[in-house]
Amino acid sequence: MDATEPLITSPMIGRVLRASTTGFECGTRSSDLNEPAFGAFVQARRRNEPTAIIGLIYAIRIDDDPLVRQLIMANSINAATMRDQRENRMVPVEISVITIGCMEGDRPIYALPPRPPLSLDPVYLCDAEMLYAFTQHFDFFRLVLQATQLPSEELLAAALRFAAAVRPHSEQNAYLIRAGQRLAQLLSHDLPRLHHLLRLIRPG
């Protein structure tokens, strides 16, 4: 590892396939699809740059291949064939991410990065410490809510569940209540959307 690169201990979930300022796609294998989930916070880093680009997973697509099509048409599939297909063959998986900010060291920045990541840059899940620091404030809400091409309400609710989960149990409900209060300010002009989001994040 280059001496200027930070040590990252969280799981790598793939590498960048294509990117723009507002988001990126990364690729992985189906056998590595254990950690990524809808609404999870991820980070991508350009080589030799200290800034981490922070995003949310909003789609996971598993592509087929000719063998999958043949297996689907078979009358039955034995367990060994299924296991080989899922664990040994390189079935491509594409993960789509919306960019919601950056981390410069321990400092969160709630704005789009000046440059996107490059092809083949690694993409990692955010660890609990980074996730806690980035979600102390709710300024990333706007970027998610303005992304009309995404299931933004469901995405933001899933992200808030991840953010609450890294906090002590005694703080989780209070955190979600504060998030709801911020959403009420942002969506005061769109009450049906606000009510839907509040139902999604209501503490259990």
Distance set, CA 162 to CA 42, 82, 132, 133, 196 (Å): 11, 31, 10, 13, 19
Which uninterrupted H or E stretch holds 97? strand 92-104
| Tens digits of residue pLDDT in 41-65 | 999 987 777 889 999 999 998 876 6
The predicted model scores a pTM of 0.84
Task: Pick the closest to residue 148 from 26, 37, 60, 22 (CA basis).
Answer: 22
Give the separation between CA 188 and CA 115, rounded to whole angstroms: 33
Rounded Cα gap, residues 117 and 139, in angstroms: 22
- Give per-residue pLDDT as tens, 96-124: 999 999 999 889 999 999 889 999 999 99
pLDDT at 203: 74
Which one-letter amino acid corresponds to residue 190?
Answer: D
Q: Say which residues have a Cβ less than 8 Å from residue 201's Cβ, sequence separation at least 6.
A: 156, 157, 160, 161, 176, 179, 180, 183
- Quick: pLDDT tens for 118-162: 999 999 999 999 999 999 999 999 999 999 889 999 999 999 999
Query: How far is 172 from 167, CA to CA, in rounded Å?
Result: 6
Q: Distance between CA 57 and CA 25 in Å, rounded?
A: 9
Q: Is the pLDDT of residue 71 over 50?
A: yes
Mean pLDDT of the chain: 86
Question: In this structure, what DSSP letter does residue 5 have?
Answer: S
Beta strand extents in 105-199 (DSSP E only)? 107-109, 122-125
Of 11-15, 29-33, 46-50, 98-102, the range with the highest mean pLDDT is 98-102
- How far is the C-alpha of 46 from the C-alpha of 16, rounded, in Å? 10
Domain-wise residue ranges, the chain: 12-201
